[in-house]
Structure 1
Amino acid sequence: MENGFVDCHCHISAREFEEDLEEVIQRTIEAGVQTLIAVTEEVGEFDRVLQLSDRYPGLVAPCLGLHPLQACGNLEQRSVKPEDLESALPLFYKHRDRLVAVGEIGLDFTPWCAPTAQDREDQLAVFIQQLHIAKELDLPVNVHSRSAAQVTIATMREQGVSRALLHNFAGRPSVALEAVKAGYFLSFPPAICTNQQVRNEPRNIFMSCQYIADVKGVSSQTVQQATTNNAYRLFTRARKM
């Protein structure tokens, strides 16, 4: 049995954490979190997450990936385009031995983010290409899915993806069961419970743990052990860090 939590999906390399990163990391360790599966959203984050892996060896487990939505200034977002992936492609291969997963990748068909058929086609093309990279590098994928659950799962199955985490899954239970049948994992962020904090951070994993324990009628320790073991089953390289 493992002795600590694994945060399966965190954005520790995001700009929001730059000012107080040391304090966030300290709170993370004090909360009993032993591994951070650290995802990226844009190619500009790639160097940052790798630097954090060097800075906090054994704690920060880096992933590289392009999110289906990309920043376009003034806090607005647009759908990812195939050309966004061009500069990222060589970096997946350059750092292949350091990565624990490809992510955060996926589909987001929210109407105001992907208003046109071309937006959705572009997202799907980038998603499929990153799925191919993950298979080539023998890595699991860390997946975002919003307003696109059925398409996301169907696409992964069609592409022969067998190892995946569906992060913060918001689809119907029947669709979630399709993911379970395919062998995929689903994560539960603190948003599943009443969380009044403006910004989430890894130490809040205990909220999810306690909520799941209450729903299932088991101890929080049982949930912690089961979820940590599951995390290392999926992210096998993280266990070896």
Structure 2
Amino acid sequence: MIDSHAHIYAEEFEHDRDEVVQRAQEVGISKILLPNIDLNSIEPMLATEARYPDVCHSMMGLHPCYVNADIEQDLATIKSWFSQHNFIAVGEIGIDLYWDKTYQSEQEYAFRTQLQWAKEFNLPVVIHTRDSIEQTLDILSQEQDGSLTGVFHCFGGTVEEAKAINQLGFHLGIGGVSTFKNGGMDKVIPELDLNYVILETDCPYLAPTPHRGKRNEPSFMQLVAQKIADLKEVPLSTITELTDHNTKALFRLA
């Protein structure tokens, strides 16, 4: 299995990161993919990748919640990193209108700009959406020229939204929300096309049941895989093998 979205460089893992990576490997997780969020996360993310070079692979992008009035300068700094390091994706990017709509236009500009980088650098994108699926799909459909690929991470939407995402050639990142009793995903997951599903934790956030409310970590992803297998009524091995294949293909991992 591959955890396609994990922030194990965060300070929540400062005291036991080695043990967290070891527990992940013990349950069969071979890779942990690291999305960037802002200017301050770059250094700890790259240090984490350097510590576990066979396991961790970094992305570069500006998360919508960290978009502000300094957007031009921040984007210039983020883009400069692509000439300094090999990243597997542009991410985590997108639009988030849940917390604050003050910088909505700046978020949309940053999202569109980073989608254009993905085309320039021939990289997949990792998309964050919250209360913004309509705006996100609208911009993505305008920018999709047949070359854009990627994933809507932490997908918790409807079957119709999943189909719209897949029609644009994009995957769905399924994580801990799939195990929540009132998360609604028990009705959605049985209808999903498994060829477009990849697994993630988004740790330290969104720990799956029975760890809900606690710090999430990559080893918990096996609970997500099992939940999908149960809802799809297929063996666990089917889910682990297919999502592993999907993730390696999307991010071009050896």
Of 98, 123, 145, 1:139 maps to: 123
Say which is worse superposed, 207-216 or 12-21, in terms of deviation: 12-21
Q: Aligned partner of 1:231: which letter?
A: T
* C-alpha distance 79-212 of structure 1, shift in aligned 2 (>3 A): farther
State the Cα deviation string for residues 145-190 of structure 1 (Å, max 9, x = none). 1111122122122112521111012333212211111111001102
2:74 is aligned to 84
**SS of residue in 2 equivalent to 1:156:** helix
Q: CA RMSD in A?
A: 1.8
1:123 is aligned to 107
Q: Aligned partner of 2:62: which letter?
A: L
Higher share of residues assigned strand: 1
Identity in percent = 32
**SS of residue in 1 equivalent to 2:41:** helix
Of 222, 225, 231, 1:215 maps to: 231
What is the 5 A alignment of 1:144-223?
Answer: 144-160=128-144, 162-194=148-180, 195-197=209-211, 198-223=214-239
1:113 is aligned to 100
1:103 is aligned to 91
State the Cα deviation string for residues 89-118 of structure 1 (Å, max 9, x = none). 2112222xx2111111111011x322x4xx
Q: For the residues of structure 2 that align with 1:80 and 1:36, how far apart are their CA atoms?
A: 31
Unaligned runs of 5+ in 1: 72-77
2:37 is aligned to 41
CA apart distance, 1:121 = 0.4
Q: For the residues of structure 2 that align with 1:16 and 1:70, how far apart are their CA atoms?
A: 19
Q: Aligned partner of 2:243: which letter?
A: T
Q: For the residues of structure 1 that align with 2:25 and 2:172, how far apart are their CA atoms?
A: 24
Q: Contact 2:119–2:148 (CA<8 Å) still a contact in 1? A: no
**SS of residue in 1 equivalent to 2:57:** strand
**SS of residue in 1 equivalent to 2:66:** strand
What TM-score, normalized to structure 2?
0.82
Q: For the residues of structure 2 that align with 1:184 and 1:178, how far apart are their CA atoms?
A: 9
Unaligned runs of 5+ in 2: 181-208
CA apart distance, 1:12 = 1.4
**SS of residue in 2 equivalent to 1:145:** strand
